[in-house]
Structure 1
Amino acid sequence: MKKTLSIIMIIIGFCLVVIIKIGPSKETSWLFAYGDWVPMIVAAAIIIPGWIMYKKSR
């Protein structure tokens, strides 16, 4: 279960990174209300614990 949850967290984090790289559009403009740093911090806050959980469950 932990491995599945960690993989889901990593995928969600990478999706946020892709959205950041593509840039704001009409659908994702709410992510960029405070600039690029907020989505980058949120993506890191999702990816890092997911990566740690994945490494521990291996």
Structure 2
Amino acid sequence: MKKILGIILIIIGFCLVVIIKIGPSKETSWLFKYGELPPILAGAAILIPGMIMYNKNR
């Protein structure tokens, strides 16, 4: 179960990183309300624990 949760967190974090890399569009403009730093920190806060959970339960 923890491995699946880790995979889900990795996917969500990766999607945030892709959205940040593409840049703001009409649909994702709410992410960039305070600049690019908060989405980058949110992506890291989701991606890093997901990778740790996945690697521990591999």
Q: State the TM-score, normalizing by the size of structure 2.
A: 0.97
- Deviations 1:28-50, CA, capped at 9 Å, x for gaps: 00000000000000000000000
AA matched with 2:25: S
Counterpart residue number, 1:54: 54
The percentage of counterpart residues that share the same residue type is 74
- Deviations 1:3-46, CA, capped at 9 Å, x for gaps: 00100000000000000010000100000000000000000000
Counterpart residue number, 2:37: 37
Structure 1: 4+ residue segments shifted above 4 A: none
Counterpart residue number, 1:9: 9
Q: Aligned-pair distance for 1:56?
A: 0.7
Unaligned runs of 5+ in 1: none
Unaligned runs of 5+ in 2: none
How many aligned residue pairs are there?
Answer: 58
Q: State the TM-score, normalizing by the size of structure 1.
A: 0.97
Counterpart residue number, 1:23: 23
